[in-house]
Amino acid sequence: MNSAPFLILETGQPVASLRRYGRFPHWIRVAAGLDADETVVVDVEHGGALPDHRRFAGVIVTGSAALVTDHADWSERSARWLHDAAHAGRPVFGICYGHQLLAHALGGEVAYNPAGRESGTIELALDPSASTDPLFAGLPTRFPAHATHLQTVVRAPDGAAILARSAQDNCHAFRWGRQAWGVQFHPEFATHHMRGYVRARAECIGRHGGCARSVARAVSAAPLARQLLRRFVRQARDA
């Protein structure tokens, strides 16, 4: 078993109204069942130095309000690092922005979602390839997850397996190689995180034809999506 710590690449901050609950790495660590001394956090958005990926059991990349398509210097630097880590076989798990950044790093394409903003508790539909995936195998073919995003992976990297979709997004999860995963949804979100994001994005939801109050009322628990972080930790430990 690999007892090395996990590296969390912090690519952004939660909306201001939710920062009382801590930063994304804390939410992720709690959902993944990791103790504080089992993680190292690098704030790449603010210039944190990227360490040697070989020092870590695995890498988790957070979400962000930034846009991959802006090609910010810190983002492109992180993409090159993720490219090298994934090609070296390091276990990687990208969430939302991290999912898009990983896809970009591996040659996929990120753009604004043609279906518009996706917000709230959505239903994931697993692709047949998920039945043999180390993280998704054994899960129901449909289950809820929390999502909030404007951009998406419009073309997965060559050779990637699409694992899950939603009514608004044809690439909600993918695996590239043996151990690099991206998920557009937020497995680290609890219901209070999701409702907070719906309130914070209410105006944008309205511009895209939705009703934030209805979306907020429909928020429900997403325990199976949350399981995926712990499954990733186990997979990385056993790699």
**List 53, 149, 186, 193, catalytic entry:** 186
Note if 186 is an active site residue. yes
Contact 118, 169 (CB under 8 A): yes
Cα separation of 145 and 167, whole Å?
12
Backbone phi and psi for residue 89, each to the nearest 5 degrees, phi listed first: 85, 10
**List 10, 45, 118, 188, catalytic entry:** 188
Cα separation of 206 and 170, whole Å?
22
Closest CA to 62 of 21, 90, 95: 95
Note if 96 is an active site residue. yes
Note if 146 is an active site residue. no
**List 10, 96, 99, 118, catalytic entry:** 96
* Residues labelled as active-site residues: 96, 186, 188
